[in-house]
């Protein structure tokens, strides 16, 4: 019997602690059984947790709970991604330091301290939202064991010739001070000045106007192109243009890359304004002129602008062009600008010497694997396929950063040949003495360590290997790899998903997981992305405190179909909270009746069990697809409508024994408890706290979370009555309302013949009296 009048969500933490002390979610792997392993995204602690992320992890917990209730031994790893830029930027901000201005050891120390604080807040939130994860086995991507794995897999691929070092123009973020991969570049529409500059045609002396958003790169111009079909410039093919200010000459060539509708149709090609420049320099074998350096400043090639930052140089050169009469006009345009996905800085394209992991040779295979993998929802497979189709470069994997896994390479001091140590230990070449050995080329024993680190996706792309104990427990790995499911957001398909399949395939010749579960992103109330600058960020912590995790989780699961973006709004979460109150009230009401094992059911009982069987079927279909929108909305509609509004009202009198036989009363009791138990089980993955509390108060000393899903084991034959019965009830309520009667007031009305089997319950429910005529 439930005595508390209200469900108090402050009980959630007590319930969570009980789960922990009971070790409810420990992986219990029977002999020969394969574990259901979730390749949990290890979150980045780099500041306050976004509400969308909290929602995302709540849903991953639903995957874990679904896996268990479907009868699997589940491993739900809790990992924290502690490598890389976001952490470094957070640390620089927090301690007001610059990474390159303090000793590397000291900076690493500060990162670690900052991380520990952020991590413990994050773990608290994970517990507060009820994540049934493996906290005891928590891993960190910066722990030695993990970094060792990253390094040893690098060494393995190095030996197989899949890694090479070369200098090529690459995306470079001056703020982060490092090369970044195409996958880390995003495009933003930024307001820019389009500057129309006067060049001169050498042969004729006529002016040639060229529009550019990068006038500071005129010094690096090696060619002017016009579209071959552009009639305005037919006469200029093969002639030469004199650069303004610098007076150097370059050729004017027809080339299809020039778009006649952009600017004046004539385009300057310089090293490097954009990817078209890179391709043309390569295609035509032009000599590159480096105009910007690694700090984002202009080089000597820029003459008077040397040392200025890109924006400074741009402003200055526009001034100079104007004062010398070389500026035709400027216009404000919105320009699709490539920016660094982490710092949002416009990137520069600079040639840098970096390590690359081969991926171009693997693209056909990756596409094949992507086609074979199960995607939830299926439509999101296309995001990956589109990305694979667009990849044109190998993956640059070296970064000029500090807080990440070190590249385990030394170089011969006399001839520069790389020396790669054997896999196994964790190497820090910037600090550690070189391993003993001889240069393979010149025999020297003097080495110098690489100071660079890996792109952090090199670490996180092998999380599936780490959680399946690759290289640590071959028996476990053999049995459990590929893992079961990779849940992740659709914003990191081209990075995490793509790189994971690439890396794990290269190492194991298999895809790392059988299923990819790709969720949408959390937006604000109006469906717009949340940004600190927009002031529309919703903080999840006060919301969780106010409404509790169950309400939050129920809201999130019912907010949008799996895979779609969802809107975060407090009022909707408050609405979800009402369902919990309803569930508690219903449970309290039912708890006042005894549980009876068997009973001779009446028609109304058979009817609600038919509906219940259908509910179980539909919900399980949703659960099997890990689409929690389906069970959540189905159960909500059933509980509010079919069950509470109709069935409960129909059997209230019978449950209290008013005017019914003992047998009939027992049938009501039996059915009420059967429905409640089933509903609790169906809600267990969604709102784990409240259902466990009700379950233990009413049905068992052990948790609901060791139960399986219910089976739809009732005949569905009475389903045919649903529509006429609901219609009849609504009709009665309408008539009473029209006549200003309360629901209990008697009414002269006949139960229709089609519903004759329900006559006793319906008559009581509506206080119907036979007509006197």
| Contact residues for Zn ion, defined by CB under 5 A | 173, 175-176, 340, 342-343, 345, 412, 415, 417, 439, 441-442, 444
**Of residues 108 and 339, the one with the C-beta less far from Zn ion:** 339
Which two three-digit tokens encode residue 672? 């009420």
The helix (H) or strand (E) run that includes residue 215 is: none
**Of residues 336 and 441, the one with the C-beta less far from Zn ion:** 441
Determine if the peptide bond prior to 730 is cis (ω within 30°).
no
Q: Residue 499 CB, nearest distance to Zn ion (Å)?
A: 19
Q: Residue 710 CB, nearest distance to Zn ion (Å)?
A: 51
Q: Residue 294 CB, nearest distance to Zn ion (Å)?
A: 13
Residues 469, 502: Cα–Cα separation, whole Å: 19
Q: Which residue has the tokens 């952009």?
A: 262
**Of residues 176 and 694, the one with the C-beta less far from Zn ion:** 176
Q: Residue 167 CB, nearest distance to Zn ion (Å)?
A: 20
**Of residues 417 and 595, the one with the C-beta less far from Zn ion:** 417
| DSSP secondary structure string for all residues of 745-764 | S-EE-PPPGGGGGGHHHHHH
**Of residues 455 and 524, the one with the C-beta less far from Zn ion:** 455
Q: Residue 440 CB, nearest distance to Zn ion (Å)?
A: 8
Q: Residue 589 CB, nearest distance to Zn ion (Å)?
A: 58
**Of residues 444 and 633, the one with the C-beta less far from Zn ion:** 444
Which two three-digit tokens encode residue 76? 């739900």
| The three-state (H, E, C) secondary structure of 616-673, written as one string | HHHHHHHHHCCCCHHHHHHHHHHHHHHHHHHHHHHHHHHHCCCCCCHHHHHHHHHHHH
Any idea what DSSP says for residue 101?
G
CB 667 within 8 A of CB 600: yes
Q: Residue 37 CB, nearest distance to Zn ion (Å)?
A: 34
Which two three-digit tokens encode residue 179? 């090369």
**Of residues 89 and 242, the one with the C-beta less far from Zn ion:** 89
C-alpha 684, offset from chain centre: 24
**Of residues 176 and 650, the one with the C-beta less far from Zn ion:** 176
CB 406 within 8 A of CB 151: yes
CB 668 within 8 A of CB 683: no
CB 153 within 8 A of CB 462: yes
The dihedral sign for the CA sequence 153, 154, 158, 161: positive
CB 218 within 8 A of CB 317: yes
**Of residues 387 and 447, the one with the C-beta less far from Zn ion:** 447
**Of residues 343 and 585, the one with the C-beta less far from Zn ion:** 343
Q: Residue 92 CB, nearest distance to Zn ion (Å)?
A: 12
Using alpha carbons, select from 434, 393, 388, 391 the residue that is nearest to residue 411.
434
Which two three-digit tokens encode residue 127? 């517990």
Q: Residue 417 CB, nearest distance to Zn ion (Å)?
A: 5
Q: Residue 339 CB, nearest distance to Zn ion (Å)?
A: 8
- Three-state secondary-structure class, residue 765: helix
């Amino acid at each position: 019997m439930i005595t508390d009048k209200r469900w108090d969500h402050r009980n959630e933490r007590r319930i969570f602690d009980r789960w922990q002390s009971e070790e409810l979610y420990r992986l219990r792997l029977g002999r020969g059984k394969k574990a259901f392993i979730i390749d949990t995204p290890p979150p980045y602690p780099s500041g306050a947790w976004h509400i969308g992320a909290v929602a995302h992890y709540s849903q991953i917990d639903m995957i874990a709970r679904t896996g268990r209730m479907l009868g699997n031994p589940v491993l739900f790893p809790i990992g924290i991604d502690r490598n890389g830029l976001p952490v470094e930027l957070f640390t620089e901000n927090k301690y007001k330091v610059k990474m390159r201005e303090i000793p590397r050891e000291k900076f690493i120390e500060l990162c670690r301290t900052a991380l520990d604080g952020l991590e413990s807040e994050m773990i608290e939130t994970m517990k507060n939202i009820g994540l049934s994860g493996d906290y005891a086995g928590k891993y960190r991507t910066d722990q030695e064991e993990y970094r060792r794995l990253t390094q040893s897999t690098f060494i393995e691929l190095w030996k197989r010739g899949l890694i090479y070092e070369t200098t090529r123009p690459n995306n470079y973020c001056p703020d982060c001070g490092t090369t970044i991969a195409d996958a880390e570049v995003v495009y933003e529409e930024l307001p820019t000045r389009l500057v129309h500059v006067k060049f001169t045609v050498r042969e004729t002396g006529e002016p040639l106007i060229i529009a550019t958003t990068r006038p500071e790169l005129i010094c690096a111009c090696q060619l002017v192109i016009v579209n071959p079909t552009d009639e305005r410039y037919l006469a200029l093919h093969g002639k030469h243009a004199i650069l303004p200010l610098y007076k150097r000459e370059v050729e004017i060539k027809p080339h299809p890359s020039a778009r006649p509708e952009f600017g004046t149709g004539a385009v300057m090609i310089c090293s490097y304004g954009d990817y078209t420049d890179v391709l043309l320099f390569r295609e035509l074998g032009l000599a590159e002129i480096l105009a910007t350096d690694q700090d984002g400043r202009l080089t000597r090639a820029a003459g008077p602008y040397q040392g200025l930052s890109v924006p400074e140089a741009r402003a200055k050169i526009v001034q100079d062009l104007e004062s010398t009469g070389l500026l035709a006009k400027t216009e404000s345009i919105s320009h699709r600008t490539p920016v660094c996905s982490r710092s949002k800085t416009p990137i520069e394209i600079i040639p840098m010497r970096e390590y690359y992991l081969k991926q171009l040779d693997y693209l056909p295979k990756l596409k094949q694997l992507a086609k074979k993998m199960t995607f939830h929802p299926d439509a999101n497979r296309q995001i990956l396929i589109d990305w694979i189709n667009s990849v044109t470069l190998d993956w640059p994997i070296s970064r000029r950063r500090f807080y990440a896994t070190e590249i385990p390479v030394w170089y011969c001091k006399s001839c520069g040949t790389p020396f790669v140590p054997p896999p196994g230990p964790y190497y820090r070449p910037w600090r550690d003495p070189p391993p003993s050995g001889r240069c393979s080329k010149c025999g020297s024993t003097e080495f110098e360590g690489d100071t660079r680190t890996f792109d952090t996706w090199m670490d996180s792309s092998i999380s599936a290997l780490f959680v399946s104990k690759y290289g640590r427990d071959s028996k476990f790995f053999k049995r459990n790899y590929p893992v079961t499911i990779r849940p992740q957001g659709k914003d990191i398909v081209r990075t995490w998903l793509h790189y994971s399949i690439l890396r794990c395939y290269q190492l194991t010749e298999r895809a790392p997981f059988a299923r990819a579960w790709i969720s949408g992103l959390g937006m604000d109330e109006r469906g717009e992305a949340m940004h600190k600058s927009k002031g529309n960020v919703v903080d999840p912590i006060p919301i969780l405190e106010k409404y509790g995790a169950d309400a939050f989780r129920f809201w999130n699961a019912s907010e949008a179909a799996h895979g779609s973006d969802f809107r975060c709004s407090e009022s909707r979460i408050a609405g979800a909270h009402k369902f919990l109150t309803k569930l508690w009230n219903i449970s309290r009401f039912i708890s006042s009746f005894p549980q009876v094992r068997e009973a001779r059911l009446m028609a109304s009982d058979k009817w609600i069990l038919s509906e219940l069987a259908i509910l179980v079927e539909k919900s399980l279909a949703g659960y099997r697809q890990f689409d929690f929108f389906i069970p959540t909305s189905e159960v909500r509609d059933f509980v509010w409508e079919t069950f509470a509004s109709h069935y409960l009202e129909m059997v209230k009198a019978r449950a209290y024994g008013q005017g019914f036989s003992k047998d009939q009363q027992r049938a009501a009791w039996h059915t009420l408890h059967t429905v409640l138990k089933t509903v609790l089980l169906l809600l267990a993955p969604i709102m784990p706290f409240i259902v466990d509390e009700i379950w233990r108060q009413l049905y068992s000393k052990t948790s609901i979370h060791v139960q399986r899903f219910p089976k739809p084991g009732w005949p569905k034959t009475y389903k045919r009555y649903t529509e006429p019965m609901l219609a009849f009830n609504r009709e009665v309520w309408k008539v009473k309302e029209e006549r200003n009667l309360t629901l209990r007031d008697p009414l002269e009305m006949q139960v229709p013949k089609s519903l004759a089997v329900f006559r006793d319950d319906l008559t009581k429910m509506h206080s119907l009296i036979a007509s006197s005529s």
